[in-house]
A and B are shown apart, each in its own frame.
Chain A
Amino acid sequence: MKTVQFSVTSRLVGDAAVIYPKGYLNNLSGESLVKECGIYIGKGITKIVVNFSETDLINSIGISLLLQIIEDLKNIKGTICCTNMSKFLQDTFEMLGLIQYMVVFPVESDALQYLKVGKV
């Protein structure tokens, strides 16, 4: 199986940061996702959208890193929205009970609208 090197890009939309992880979230390179979110949180951003359209798989290391982001946002009463998730990702988050700490949307635009006006 060809492994895609994990990378992260992001953009600011209004007062929300949209994060685009790319690749399998399964090793220390996933720390860049936490770091990227931390940069926005450090700047006072409390709304984060993680668009998983290019991340189909996650393992326990990835869950731990995501846990860290959830924890960081929890501490500042922020919101994390997850969008474009594969069935595997959604099933895993549900099974672990993580889904209660995030707001899930099928697409990024829905999440941004929710963060802007409080509903889709």
Chain B
Amino acid sequence: MSAELKKALYNISALADLGQAITSESVFHEKIQSVFYVITGTFLANRGAILSYDKSADRLITVTQKGFPPADLDRVDPEKLMSLGKNEPFLIGDSPVLAIAGVKILAPLWVRDEFIGVLLLSGKLTGSPYTQEDLELLNVIAHQIAIALNNHSLFMDLSDKLEENRRLYEEMRHIYHGTLQAFAAAIDAKDAYTQNHSYRVAKYSTAIARELGWNEHDIEGMYVAGYLHDVGKLAISNDLLNKVTPFTPEERAEIRKHSTTSHNITSKIKFPWQNVQDMVWHHHERLDGCGYPEALAQESLSDGVRILSLADSFDAMTSQRPYRKKMDVQTAITELKKCLESQFDNKIMLVFCKVLEKEIKGELPEPDILPYLDRDSDLSVISSMLEAIIQELSAP
């Protein structure tokens, strides 16, 4: 085999090496280092550098290099390189385009009309000159490196934008939750007896949803429904809400409108969660079909509705009301248990008991229910009670 043919085969295999290096799954700096080795190994250049163009700073940044003083590379003027041919190798000779000792040849890197950077190479170790074949090969290599650098730059831009969007999304979420809290505060402020009721219901509901194994997105939806379930009460007069004596049938009917009003208000909001409106609308429905506003049958009640119904009732029972004193936790749990199957769901009750039991035992890092219960509660009594209910409801 002739020497020319052997060299041609070596060049072809070098292009294959380049393709493999560029398309490898390595991280960028490893990829570019492999590319750099392919180039210096192909041309036997003992010094070389790949610089990428930072458009915003209008300067070239060294991606990888060997053998050149870093300060010299920092001084390379991108403007001078941009006037040269795109990806066309340029033999330096006596040209003043670059003032770095030892650079014999360069290739400005371009992708379409975008200047990407430059490839610099020293002379060959053997001292032989760059041939026409070398220049043609370098032109192909320059195209490939330009594309690889450009892809990386685009990827980094996208990553930055993604990170910025993520940050903005988190800020929006923060504002969103702030708005919800303001809404909830407005609802609760109407009724001196229900201060922080919406907040607690949101906390209790999410604790149950989390224990049920819901995903974070759906748990957040549950939280929002908890906050907004009583938003319809904004349309009810303060006098009626704070009435001490029992409601007349007309007054009760008026009060009961609040869940439909809540639904009407929340329907105007395009939530990223599917069933917030359904949960706020039906949180006073019952399993026996005697609830309101639609007296829905058991099979029509989603888990979200069942959770909200139980959490709302539990907090209502353990809170002071104008017409009655607050119940202690044990009594409230006994009441919930009495209403199983008619009003509350066995599965949801079981999960509620389990999560409260875990919180009492300190098994959960951030308790959602326990901090809002009466401080005088006897936790050991409650715990025994919960254990008995868990055993009973877990039985096949």
- Residue interface mask A27-66, B partner, CB < 8 A = 1: 1100000000000000000000000000000011111110
Residue on B with the closest CB to A65? B37
Kindly state whether residue A96 has any CB partner on chain B within 8 Å.
yes
* Interface membership of A95, Cβ < 8 A: yes
- CB within 8 Å for A61 and B3 given contacts A67-B44, A67-B125: no
Q: Report A-chain residues with C-beta under 8 Å of the C-beta of B18.
A: 60
The answer to whether A8 has its CB under 8 Å from any CB of chain B is no
How far is it, in angstroms, between the C-alpha of A59 and the C-alpha of B13 when the chains are bound? 8
Please, how many angstroms separate the alpha-carbon atoms of A71 and B46 in the complex? 7
Interface string of B4-44 (1 = CB under 8 A from A): 00110010011001100100001000100110111111101
Bin chain B's interface residue count: 20 to 34
Q: Are A60 and B41 in contact (CB under 8 A)?
A: yes
Q: Are A95 and B10 in contact (CB under 8 A)?
A: yes
Contacts of B128 in A (CB 8 A): 97
CA distance A70 to B45 in the complex (A): 12
Q: How far, in whole Å, are A79 and B34 apart by their CA atoms in the complex? A: 27
CA–CA, A40 and B165, complex, Å: 52
CB of A60 within 8 A of CB of B7, answer: no
Task: Please measure, in the bound complex, the distance between the C-alpha atom of A68 and the C-alpha atom of B44, giving whole angstroms.
Answer: 10
B125 touches A64 (CB 8 A): no
Contact A59-B41, Cβ < 8 Å, known A28-B30, A28-B33, A95-B10: yes
Does A105 belong to the interface (CB within 8 Å)? no
Q: Is the CB of A67 within 8 A of B34?
A: no
What's the dominant secondary structure at chain A's contact region? helix
Task: Identify the closest chain B residue to A91 (Cβ).
Answer: B6
Contact call B37/A61, Cβ cutoff below 8 A: yes
Contact B6 A64 (CB under 8 A): no
Contacting residues, chain B, for A26 (C-beta < 8 A)? 17
Q: Determine whether B132 belongs to the interface, using a CB cutoff of 8 Å to chain A.
A: no
SS class of chain B's interface: helix, strand, loop or mixed? helix
Which residue in B38, B44, B46, B66 is a CB contact (below 8 Å) of A97? B44
- Asked if B274 is an interface residue, CB under 8 A from chain A, the answer is no
Q: Hey, which chain A residues are within 8 Å of B17, CB to CB? A: 26, 59-61
With A67-B41, A67-B125, A91-B6 already in contact, the answer to whether A28 and B34 are too (CB < 8 A) is yes
Contact of B41 among A62, A91, A95 (CB under 8 A): A62
CA distance A26 to B128 in the complex (A): 25
Given contacts A97-B126, A101-B125, whether A60 and B46 have CB atoms under 8 Å apart is: no
A92-B10, A95-B10 known; A60 vs B37 contact (CB < 8 Å): yes
A55-112 CB contacts (< 8 Å) to partner B:
59-65, 67-68, 70-71, 91-92, 95-98, 100-101
Interchain nearest-CB distance for A11 vs B (Å): 27
Residue of B nearest to A61 (CB): B37
Least CB distance, B20 to chain A, in whole angstroms: 9
A70-B125 CB under 8 A given contacts A59-B17, A61-B34: yes
B76 to nearest A CB, angstroms? 23
Contacts of B125 in A (CB 8 A): 67, 70-71, 97-98, 101
- Listed by A's residue number, 27 A-B pairs whose Cβ atoms lie within 8 Å are A28-B26, A28-B33, A28-B34, A59-B14, A59-B38, A59-B41, A60-B13, A60-B37, A61-B17, A61-B21, A61-B34, A61-B41, A63-B42, A64-B38, A64-B40, A64-B41, A67-B40, A67-B46, A67-B125, A68-B66, A91-B6, A95-B3, A96-B10, A97-B44, A98-B44, A98-B126, A101-B125
Given contacts A28-B34, A98-B44, A101-B125, 10 further A-B pairs with CB under 8 A are A28-B26, A61-B37, A67-B40, A67-B41, A67-B46, A68-B66, A92-B10, A96-B44, A96-B126, A97-B128
